[in-house]
Amino acid sequence: MLAGAVVLGGSLLGPQALSEDATAAPAVKAWPDKADGFASLGGGTTGGAAGKTVTVTSFAELEKYATAQDPYVIKVGGTLKYPTMGNEVRVASNKTVIGAGTKGEIVGGGFFLKKGVSNVIIRNLTIRDTRMPDDDPDDDSYDYDAIQIDTADHIWIDHNRLERMNDGLIDSRKDTTNLTVSWNIINENHKTFGIGWTDNVTSQVTIHHNWCGTQSRNPSIDNVANAHLYNNYLQNTGSGNWSRGKSNTVIENRGLYPASWTPTPVRGKADGGGDGDAIGGDWNPDT
């Protein structure tokens, strides 16, 4: 079994079993403030917990605190529209960027974690809308990602909604490692989640409880030392999980569902450095 892997008992409930309780009121859940999977190794991923908490309501404030050298918990207190389409804020080490309640939205841009960045949490945000109509359907001309990570380590991407970006929703590139991607809604995109762009086989990644309604790279895994995927849902996608190169990949309890099933996000309390609602929970079919 992979180091840091979670032991799972039983199997996922199928659509029929889930539909029997589809009318029940969703339970409110408290989400832990600690990453699991590979992001929990080597001291864990704590983000900006050692620093001050600030609330930002403008792009300028977000950029100021995200790029600072000091640790910060940065609460996004509203819809922040980037002034330049496709811009990616350079997030420095020891940061938590988290939506405040249900308000946190990043529109028209995303985040970039460069080589050497470590200990970053991105949580409870909607990141959306950098599509360029002149680049459809392949999305090759504009590199407008929601989250791009280049040789960073100890990264936790949790309880976000990522959609309608012109390139990838998540690109974990080069030698990024100790990455956990959990409980995200990943939707309406051509390129979903690419992992690789390296000849080195050193990366470790955990991917669990994500819902994907996208075309390709769900995810695409290339030259990853250890990848653990479990309890991910793929609905009406153009492709499934793709492990290639020298990757060592374990896939457990993957759900494949037809287009008629719409995910219902269940709200819960996000304790990752701030209070509020986190997108995610148990997805129940509407039909």
Query: Peptide bond preceding 71: is omega within 30 degrees of 0, i.e. cis?
Result: no
The rounded distance, in Å, linking the Cα atoms of 61 and 20 is 46
Report the relative pairing of strands 105-107 and 79-81 from DSSP bridges. parallel
Query: Cα–Cα distance between 11 and 259 in angstroms, integer?
Result: 22
Sequence-ordered strand ranges (E) for 159-281: 161-163, 168-173, 177-182, 185-187, 191-196, 204-208, 211-213, 220-222, 226-230, 233-235, 242-244, 249-252, 255-257, 268-270, 277-278
Of these residues, 128, 161, 217, 267, which one is catalytic? 217
76-114 as b/e: b if 16+ CB within 10 A: bbeebebeebbbbbebbbbbbbbbbbebbbbbbbbbbbe
To the query of whether residue 217 is one of the catalytic residues in this protein, the response is yes
Residues in CB range of 168: below 8 A, 6 or more apart: 145, 146, 148, 189, 191, 192, 193, 194, 217
Tell me how far apart the alpha carbons of residues 75 and 105 are, in angstroms, rounded to a whole number.
11
Instruction: For residue 205, give Cα distances in angstroms to 59, 68, 234.
Output: 30, 27, 19
d(CA 224, CA 67): 28
What are the C-alpha distances in Å from 279 to residues 3, 30, 163? Answer: 28, 11, 14
Annotated catalytic residues are 217
